[in-house]
Amino acid sequence: LLQTEPLPLLSLSLLKFWGKAQSLSSTLNQIVLCVHFACEATGCPELVVENASLNCSSSDRYHGAQCTVSCQTGYVLQIQRDDELIKRQVLTCTEGKWNKQVACEPVDCGIPDHHHVYAASFSCLEGTTFGSKCSFQCRHPAQLKGNNSLLTCMEDGLWSFPEALCELMCLAPPPVPNADLQTARCRENKHKVGSFCKYKCKPGYHVLGSSRKSKKRAFKTQCTQDGSWQEGACVPVTCDPPPPKFHGLYQCTNDFQFNSECRINNIIHCRKDGNWSGSFHVCPEMQGQCSAPNQLNSNLKLQCPDGYAIGSECATSCLDHNSESIILPVNVTVRDIPHWMNPTRVERIVCTAGLKWYPHPAVIHCVKGCEPFMGDNYCDAINNRAFCNYDGGDCCTSTVKTKKVGWGGGACRCFLKCSPTFWLESLLHAGQPIVLVILVLCLQVLFHFIFYSFSQ
């Protein structure tokens, strides 16, 4: 390069290039300056990755050279992509540095899942990485079946298939009060899941939950998957109460259960078949009649067609045909009935041999009856109480057949007594137009009016 005109020399840029060394000449005022450059290629440091094998494109480590890093079996790169284990990566030498930093780490299987060996607990003292071993112990009452209780972390990140298992077993079933174990093998301590044992209730007892008519005495219990037995119970046979005209006159040793004795002027006892050994009788000296029923609560009406003699009955009814007669505790009024209380319905009272009315008219009240719309997938506020079986489950999303309470149901809480404005509140809560709200209310009132008109 030759400078022909005399110009001041301000600077000289040095150029990097690859290849053989070149010379640069400059002439200024008949002065020749020669500068010589020697360019050497910059190499990357030796690539060392533990637990990996290297496959490089050339033996040189200059700019552009590439090496493929492959992790050994049971090791993976620290990089993860979509939960996929990566075992291979390509590195490139760029301006004296490798473009990536990689390391091969052992695969981690994590703590074994409880589904891997059911009914077992695990101990991993060596850790949970590739090649490590975990042992397991069976939780009571499961028992180890097999000899090898070790698991090994495999190269794919999964635990080895167990060579032993924890077999759930039930111990001998516990004794059931008032019942005899009928199956001889059930006295042993090893029973597989699903096996049955048979019991039979002792005389005078029957299976809990069986009807009074059947009085079932035998039942089976099963060994369940958690190593326990299904529950079963035998309860005493009960006899029906003596006729109500003897109420308040007899005394019993154990209510009306099996072997209980009740007495007035004679003794009767409850037999194992649920019947009394005898009956009470009105003695000749038991004479007279009850006084006319008084102290009636509002809306209650009594009809006594047979008079007030001993054993005579008076039918109960309410002046409001939409109400029902019930018995309430002395400290509870009609307005204070909680939604969970299910009062006993009463249809008649009787004059006892003690010349007293039973039940006493003072404890009989009239309450609003249930509307016949239960189980129709719409929550009727008047039925949302235990007395009306909570409207057949219509007021709860968990019990309504459609799994959605009719008309939104937002204002009517599950198993809670609704406010009188239930329909208005629920529809507004559901975001319905006010016109639809009024229309629904009118139809509801009209429907109930027609029903009650026909019922009367």
Kindly state the tokens that stand for 303. Answer: 């009809």
For residue range 279-300, list pLDDT tens digits in order. Answer: 988 888 888 999 998 878 889 9
Query: Which one of 2.10.70, 3.90.660, 3.30.460, 3.90.180 gives the CATH number of domain 300-368?
Result: 2.10.70
- DSSP sequence for 421-452: THHHHHHHHTT--HHHHHHHHHHHHHHHHHHH
For residue 327, count CB atoms less than 10 angstroms from its CB and return exposed for 0-12, middle for 13-18, buried for 19 or more. middle
Q: What sign for the dihedral angle of Cα 413, 419, 425, 426?
A: positive
pTM: 0.51
The larger pLDDT score, comparing residue 393 to residue 241, is at 241
pLDDT at 63: 86
| CA 426 – CA 447 distance, rounded (Å) | 19
Percentage of residues in the chain with pLDDT exceeding 90? 45
Task: Give every CB contact of residue 2 below 8 A, 6+ residues apart in sequence.
Answer: 25, 26, 27
> What is the pLDDT at residue 164?
92
Residue 36 host element (H or E): strand 31-36
Which H helix or E strand runs over 193? Answer: none
Task: Work out the pLDDT band at 77, boundaries 50, 70, 90.
Answer: confident
pLDDT of residue 278: 92
pLDDT for the residue numbered 438: 59
CATH topology of domain 52-106: Complement Module; domain 1 (2.10.70)
Task: Find out whether 187 and 181 touch, Cβ atoms under 8 Å.
Answer: yes
Query: What is the per-residue pLDDT for 15?
Result: 36
Do 170-236 and 52-106 fall under one CATH topology?
Answer: yes
> Strand 364-368's sheet: what is its strand order?
344-345, 323-327, 364-368
Second-level CATH architecture of 170-236? Ribbon (2.10)
Q: What six digits make up the tokens of 270?
A: 């409850």
Domain chopping of the chain, boundaries: 52-106, 120-167, 170-236, 300-368, 381-455
CA distance 411 to 427: 9
Amino acid at 172: A
CA–chain centroid gap for 384, Å, is 24
Domain 120-167 CATH assignment equals 1.20.1550: no
